[in-house]
Structure 1
Amino acid sequence: MWFAKSQEEVLRELNVNPATGLSSQEVQTRLEKYGANKLKGKPKKSLIALFFAQLKDMLIYVLIGAALITLFIGEYVDSIIILLVVVLNAVIGVFQEFKAEKAIEALQQMSTPKTLVRRNGEVVEISSEELVPGDIILIDAGRFIPADLRLIESANLQIEESALTGESVPTEKIAQETLKDPKTPLGDQVNMAFMSTLATYGRGEGVVVGTAMETEIGKIAKILDEEIDEMTPLQKRMEELGKVLGYLAIGICVLIFVISFFQKRDLFEMFMTAISLAVAAIPEGLPAIVAIVLALGVTRMSKINAIVKKLPAVETLGSVNIICSDKTGTLTQNQMTVVKYYTLNDLQEVPREGSGFNASLQEKDLMKTLVLCSDATYEHGQGTGDPTEIALVVLGDRFNLGKKTLNAEHKRVGEHPFDSDRKLMSTLNEEDRGYRVHTKGAIDNLLKISTTALVEGKVVPLTEEMKKEYLRMADEMSDAALRVLGAAYKDVDTMISPKEMEQDLTLLGMVGMIDPPRLEVKDSIRDAKLAGITPIMITGDHKNTAVAIAKELGIAESIEESMTGAEIDELSDAEFSERIGSLRVFARVSPEHKVKIVKAFKSHGNIVSMTGDGVNDAPSLKNADIGVAMGITGTDVSKGAADMILTDDNFTTIVHAIEEGRNIYNNIRKSVIFLLSCNLGEIIAIFFSVLFFWPVPLLATQLLWINLITDTLPAIALGVDPGDKEVMRQKPRDPKESFFAHGAGVRAIIGGVLIGTLTLVAFYVGLREYGYSLGSMAIPDDVLTYARTMAFVVLAASQLFYSLAMRSATKSIFTLGFFSNKYLIGAIIVGLLLQLTVISVPFLSSAFKLQMLSLRDWGIVLSLAVIPLILKEIYKTFLRRS
């Protein structure tokens, strides 16, 4: 606890003379002992490790088993095809994770901050990674603090610590303070400066007491090492589906053998048939298709400024119904802005946009004083210094009272710096005839040292009634969460001492400022609410300020919907969990509170997203179902903990990402239901032919062709179906909801039965043309080949046409737009051409045991193939009317 030790104790313990700093030799020794001043990241997985991680899936295990069995019985083509699917799926997963990590690394490739350090008696600028405990650091406005420091000197030093504490207002630092209470919170440790915070005002010196993982930021980073490896809803659905299909495949194989045994069929032939049914039962392309659809979704999301680190996180977004968002820099702009200014009996609002506004002479005097009595700068849209003073300079700039111009016209010749006791700052500036004192600070303190006031351009005595009116207006501004700052002046003939500056002043007025909300966030919050998502504000700021912002944004309606960290501590976990549903704002909270809030929401079955950019957000980002970090202002620690990173730091992007996540899940669901309908049709066609002792209408290689080529293209095209515009008018999907909810399972069965039945009908028609029936014995091979070709075409073409009907459960293809999914139309055309190719090209037809059909039979098979699509569209019409 360095803050509890005196400066002398700290310097003695670290064995350093602040006047000369460490020697080069001592630095090298300590560097070897403590290591580089850099936060440690988790070791990266190798490409091999990433590859094998993709294979940990029940469906993959079943496919590998099927490949080994087919290899054992000499069906090498089948084995190769199945293994190619497995490898393709793994490669896609590895590539996407690798690409996402590279994108994240690119975000983190920012230049290493430089640091002024005293070594060997000289001040030098070095990389912050080279710092060691005992180094003497020089601090000035605009520099990041490179390590944890015990301050040994400070002059009006203020440090913005929002990345660590959540406070948007800088903390005043006093090096001479020695804090005795060992439980002093970070925000109150005024004699310390912490890594990754920013000096905004004044100057100081400090001795390094902690580097890398031994800093306060490092301690938070250690929390993140605790792995929370919970599967996303999509992963759970796919694992369950894989198990069901795997058990189904095994069950079908056993059933076939039992039936074959009693039918006294050739056991080897029936083993091949069983393998065919197993192949039919398992949609081999499913894992690859889901990965491809997710990967394409991730690519689309990157175009809307959202980088997803892991594929399944895309789908998780679609289930989110709680967004816990940090206020500072996420919902607000993280920059103080003057929104109101007041002269006696005249309150004015600063226009939200534009510049060059008209103002009275008195109002210009007010702004002139505020600008000249500040040390901040603002040029070309960039400000340096204290955020409050930057806001004042920006205000002057918008009224054509630029800081640079005023400084040139009214040179500063004296000053009385700000301190926390007076809560005032004064400067003495040259005027045409003499000098003018400009003073700004707390309005109540200004009223004590002012004797007159400027009212409508005239100096009049400051009466008690006037003072009450000023205080009333200040209270009104404070209640609206505005930070109030007053201004006063006096003209003098000669230069005066700092003490004389703050006597007998003339009060000008005051301004109210706030860290304003992002302009686009209000609309995004409204959209989120319409989509059944509850936005929650979590901040380290004061309760009134937080609630005022929350009201403006539409997050909360009253202060009863808010709670502070201290109030959370008074409740047990059960009591807090009981109250969590009625709360929308959490103020003055610590990182531990944030984690507790996320867990309380999750305990009610909510899918929780946590949005933030500071180091203090990282633990809650990790504990949330999906953590969303800011790419520009976010710290490396928060990016490492998050599932998704916003490259534009825009809260609105989250709402777009949720919409994208919902559509991606819906598209995956379409693909899965489509594949299962098609494969069920294959199962029905083969199973019933075995059950009734008919010839098998399709061979294993023919099924593989249909599954891997004909199914895959339309399934992927469904996966990139244009998003439903009404998806954000629906409530978030229950993550426990099955793929087959809302009648999807029934529709899949009906579709499968239709496809399977029509395949058998086509097989029957093919046999009938040569005088044979399904029950005939000793059917010639050429007749079987012709009949199987007809079944083959119907099975493939009916699936291709049926994909059009799968785009929506209720809307017709004409309402959606027949050509609105050009990829799907292309997939159908390509699929039909592939079918024609494999039938008409001699060596392919020979390999797949197929032959060319007559023109009449092409008409029959295509007419049969379009029936499932027509019946589905008719059913939708009745559904819409009911």
Structure 2
Amino acid sequence: MNWFSVDAEEVLRELQTDRKQGLSHQEAASRLEKYGENKLKGKPKKSLVALFFAQLKDMLIYVLLGAAVITVLIGEYTDSIIILLVVILNAIIGVFQEFKAGKAIEALQKMTTPRALVRRDGDVIEIDSKDLVPGDLVVLDAGRYIPADLRLIESVNLQIEESALTGESVPSEKDAGHRFEDPKTPLGDLSNMAFMSTLVTYGRAEGVVVGTGMNTEIGKIAKGLDETETDLTPLQRRLAELGKTLGYVAIGICVLIFVIALIQRRDLFEMFLTAISLAVAAIPEGLPAIVAIVLALGVTRMSRINAIVKRLPAVETLGSVNIICSDKTGTLTQNKMTVLHVYTHRKFLDVPDEGTATAQETAEQKLIQTMVLCTDATYADGEGTGDPTEIALLVLGEKYHMPKSEQEAGHERVAEKPFDSDRKLMTTLNKEGSRYRVHTKGAFDSILKVATHALVNGEKVPLTDELKADYLRAAEEMSDQALRVLGAAYKDSDELIDPDEMEKGLTVLGLVGMIDPPRLEVKDSIRQAKEAGITPVMITGDHQHTAAAIAMQLGMADSLAQTISGSDLDALSDEELNHGITQYRVFSRVSPEHKVKIVKAFQSHGNIVSMTGDGVNDAPSLKSADIGVAMGITGTDVSKGASDMILTDDNFSTIVSAIREGRNIYNNIKKSVVFLLSCNLGEIVAILTSVLFFWPVPLLPTQILWINLITDTFPAIALGVDLGDKDVMKKKPRDPKESFFAGGAAWRALTGGLLIGLLTLAAFYFGLNEHGYQMWSGSIPEDVLTYAETMAFVVLAVSQLFYSLSMRSATHSILRVGLFSNKYLIGAILLGLVLQFTVISVPFLASAFHVQMLTLRDWFIVLVFALIPLLVNEWIKSRSGQK
């Protein structure tokens, strides 16, 4: 059906929707079952089987599988079974990692699902847009994405940016009253329709859903589209490159081992298997997977502290943020506005905290009436919906016996100009019997620009410079008390006024001063941010004195000299602003365009900037910032779409907490990577040294693969989800250009690898020496070699497990960090120890791996050997801490 060709009432009848009630919850649930979720279909997800086989797509795995086939052909069935089991177990662990990371990212995507305002059972409620059904009544306002295809049934000054669908960047004006008979009318001309994924830039409207999911216009275009982002983060890309480089080095070493073995006339097939096994163990192919799961799990943890990170690269950037540009209202303050004072010409009226009062003067009555009628919020039975500032004005009306419901009954709204950040005004036109009255509220300096008269002692008089000065003094007096000041003006007319003429020739009524108290926890968060080398900056549309008073109360600024207004910003060139930006902590009376300039000015000094925003026009500054932060409660869909992170509680403290988490996540990834490299290097050192000096190789290929299995997975992931450093916010932000191996990470990996490798050789030598043989002895009996290999096998595995404890902190001892504070790591170590004990204790496994049961004395010796890398690293940390 061509919904655009019939009138709104017929559309509602056809979809069986009540204009005032909307759908019932029961009917909506029934239709959701019938039509399915309102979302575009992506590519089908990979099955677990597909994920499993994807893990096997690796050249070294192919070689290993080939080696397994060869071992079968030559009758070494046990070795072939072990090789196959290790390959399968590795693949299963890889599937688990990928599945876990995928689930975590899916959960985050659900949290960032766009929301829609719908009318159900007569109430306007907010739901996930995927739950919309045909027939739902959707309420639209500026800053919201259209959640489905709608036939508009009511519109006021509605403009929609439809470039996502039509390619036309200029917003289209919409009118619910139009009808189009021609069925071939182009989409861009259908002014009575609104289409999924387009954006409301101005005005408000209501529409009925006529198409959802793949039955929308965007759905027809997007068949087969997969919206899931699969790009690697910069860190993952760097580590993938590192993995490749180390892989080439490892393969080179393996080729070298094989060539030397050829020259030394060793058993070529045995050395071939050893070289391949070492390559599989030494190449850190799991690095990107480990990073992915650590990032995903870390981001899930961040969501629990009310910070939803939309893009994984943002986690890396968070650790480098050193400037936080924050809105004031709702972020630094409680967003619970209360009107304290009303000012008409030379008269302050104190508004009572509780109870009611009566406005004695005509000017006071008119001012309160204007403030009440010029709002879109609602307030009834002590509960309000809408903008907190407007709710505060409705509460003011209630206190003075002028509730909105009564005022609207005799003063019907017939036209309006919605608030926008450029004008800083909102205006309505209401009927007054046979006449009309314009009601305007907004920033007082903006009121003065459009006013020509003032109401003084009940009479309209010209607005002189003297009168302006009186009003400005009153505004400044309120601002000095940290009050937000709003002005009101009006004008009467005998006839309907064109919207473009409404904000001309107005009469000033007066001002109201309201307070939004600072959040109690923010002051402490600002102190923490400063300790962490982060500079908090306030950016607000409020008056300079109001902003400065709040900033000084919170400890963000020391004096009025650290503030600058939007008009002063305009007077500065880009070069002047860049040069002087670091001296300011408060930016008042700013527009969204100013925000972009402020961000770029801070960035010109090499700063990493976080910027908060909630409005439609905040999108450019959110994108310009290194971390764009949208408000989850008051934020528009546009600001959320342009941001990297969403605060579900709109709280400044959450930004600081997110930075702490971001720093810890990065540090945890670093721990995991350094640990993996230490383990891999240890294996290479042990094998390469043995081959170079023509000693017996201390480890068999199957043993190398087994050790890789128990040390490269769960301990590394457990380090990745560590609790983190308690003192992380007492350090300066990380330089984003800093090498991943800065701060001694490369030295730790090298030291750990050398210690693990050399101690493995020492354990092997000890095993030989126990029976009177040396490394260079000619013919060593099989049972002696098995005993020595068992000692080396256990030391290599257990030393890596113990060494993971030391990786938890680069500077603090494990006792200070808390030996048992990371339960996952303790669990991973215990699991590794149990598996290692099982392999050498269960007869058929011991036979398969060519190892033997150790005595209690032997276990004591190997545990001493295995503890040395941990103890040496702890000693190094203690020595460096004393300097």
TM-score (norm 2): 0.69
In structure 1, the residue matched to 2:318 is 317
- Count of residues paired in the alignment: 788
How far residue 510 of structure 1 moved from its aligned partner, in angstroms, is 3.6
Deviations 1:298-346 (A, max 9, x none): 3322322233455554334323345566777766778875354447777
Please tell me whether the aligned partners of residues 140 and 199 of structure 1 are also in contact (alpha carbons under 8 angstroms).
yes
Give SS of 1:512's match.
Answer: strand
Distance change (3 Å), C-alpha of 1:40 and 1:643: farther
Please tell me whether the aligned partners of residues 484 and 543 of structure 2 are also in contact (alpha carbons under 8 angstroms).
no
* Aligned residue identity for 1:250: I
* Aligned residue identity for 1:837: T
Query: 5+ unaligned residues in a row in structure 2: which ranges?
Result: 15-36, 72-79, 121-130, 164-172, 176-192, 418-424, 497-506
In structure 1, the residue matched to 2:723 is 722
Aligned: 1:77 with 2:82 = yes
* Aligned equivalent of 1:97, options 92, 97, 102: 102
In structure 2, the residue matched to 1:829 is 830
How far residue 772 of structure 1 moved from its aligned partner, in angstroms, is 1.0
In structure 1, the residue matched to 2:810 is 809
Distance change (3 Å), C-alpha of 1:140 and 1:110: closer
In structure 2, the residue matched to 1:273 is 274
In structure 2, the residue matched to 1:452 is 457
* Aligned equivalent of 1:485, options 481, 484, 487: 487
In structure 1, the residue matched to 2:77 is none
Give SS of 2:339's match.
Answer: strand
* Aligned residue identity for 2:591: R
Distance change (3 Å), C-alpha of 1:786 and 1:146: closer
Distance 1:578 1:42 in 2: 48
Distance 1:163 1:357 in 2: 49
* Aligned residue identity for 1:588: S
Please tell me whether the aligned partners of residues 277 and 687 of structure 1 are also in contact (alpha carbons under 8 angstroms).
no
Distance 2:877 2:139 in 1: 73
RMSD: 6.5
In structure 2, the residue matched to 1:737 is 738
Give SS of 2:308's match.
Answer: strand
Aligned: 1:656 with 2:654 = no
Distance 1:342 1:533 in 2: 40
* Aligned equivalent of 1:46, options 41, 44, 47: 44
* Aligned residue identity for 2:45: L
Deviations 1:567-597 (A, max 9, x none): 89x86xx99988887787594345xx97888
Distance change (3 Å), C-alpha of 1:666 and 1:317: same
Percent identity between the two aligned chains: 56
* Aligned residue identity for 2:761: L
Deviations 1:319-374 (A, max 9, x none): 334556677776677887535444777768879xxx42798987999589726973
Please tell me whether the aligned partners of residues 313 and 626 of structure 1 are also in contact (alpha carbons under 8 angstroms).
yes
Please tell me whether the aligned partners of residues 325 and 538 of structure 2 are also in contact (alpha carbons under 8 angstroms).
yes
How far residue 691 of structure 1 moved from its aligned partner, in angstroms, is 0.8
Give SS of 1:319's match.
Answer: coil
Distance change (3 Å), C-alpha of 1:153 and 1:637: closer
Aligned: 1:700 with 2:698 = no
Moved more, 718-727 or 464-473: 464-473
How far residue 679 of structure 1 moved from its aligned partner, in angstroms, is 2.3
Distance 1:16 1:102 in 2: 41
Please tell me whether the aligned partners of residues 147 and 212 of structure 1 are also in contact (alpha carbons under 8 angstroms).
yes
Distance 2:463 2:287 in 1: 81
Distance 2:139 2:739 in 1: 60
Distance 2:8 2:807 in 1: 77
Distance change (3 Å), C-alpha of 1:880 and 1:380: farther
Aligned: 1:864 with 2:862 = no
In structure 1, the residue matched to 2:648 is 647
Distance 1:863 1:417 in 2: 86
* Aligned residue identity for 1:531: A
Distance 2:46 2:470 in 1: 70
Distance 1:755 1:152 in 2: 74
Distance 1:413 1:644 in 2: 45
Trace 1:367-386 onto structure 2 (pairs within 5 A): 370=368, 374-375=372-373, 377-380=378-381, 382-383=383-384
Give SS of 1:866's match.
Answer: helix
In structure 2, the residue matched to 1:10 is none
Please tell me whether the aligned partners of residues 38 and 132 of structure 2 are also in contact (alpha carbons under 8 angstroms).
no
Trace 1:745-784 onto structure 2 (pairs within 5 A): 745-784=746-785
* Aligned residue identity for 2:471: L
Distance 1:688 1:205 in 2: 76
In structure 1, the residue matched to 2:669 is 668
Query: 5+ unaligned residues in a row in structure 1: which ranges?
Result: 1-13, 26-38, 116-126, 165-172, 176-191, 430-436, 455-460, 489-496, 500-505
Distance 2:786 2:602 in 1: 62
Trace 1:540-555 onto structure 2 (pairs within 5 A): 551=551, 554=556
In structure 2, the residue matched to 1:473 is 473
Give SS of 2:733's match.
Answer: coil
Please tell me whether the aligned partners of residues 763 and 791 of structure 2 are also in contact (alpha carbons under 8 angstroms).
yes
In structure 2, the residue matched to 1:559 is 564
Give SS of 1:779's match.
Answer: coil
Deviations 1:17-39 (A, max 9, x none): 999999999xxxxxxxxxxxxx9
How far residue 452 of structure 1 moved from its aligned partner, in angstroms, is 3.1
Trace 1:296-695 onto structure 2 (pairs within 5 A): 296-309=297-310, 311=312, 313-323=314-324, 338=339, 340-342=341-343, 355-356=353-354, 366=364, 370=368, 374-375=372-373, 377-380=378-381, 382-383=383-384, 390-395=391-396, 401=400, 403-404=402-403, 450=455, 452=457, 470-474=470-474, 476=476, 482-485=484-487, 510-513=511-514, 524-534=525-535, 551=551, 554=556, 557-559=562-564, 587-589=590-592, 607=608, 609=610, 611-617=612-618, 626-636=627-637, 639=640, 642-695=643-696
Distance change (3 Å), C-alpha of 1:804 and 1:389: closer
* Aligned residue identity for 2:762: V
Please tell me whether the aligned partners of residues 64 and 86 of structure 1 are also in contact (alpha carbons under 8 angstroms).
no
Give SS of 2:723's match.
Answer: coil
Distance 1:42 1:487 in 2: 48
Distance change (3 Å), C-alpha of 1:832 and 1:326: same
Moved more, 631-640 or 722-731: 631-640
Deviations 1:765-786 (A, max 9, x none): 1111111111112211111111
Please tell me whether the aligned partners of residues 143 and 616 of structure 2 are also in contact (alpha carbons under 8 angstroms).
no
Deviations 1:354-396 (A, max 9, x none): x427989879995897269733641255436887653322235
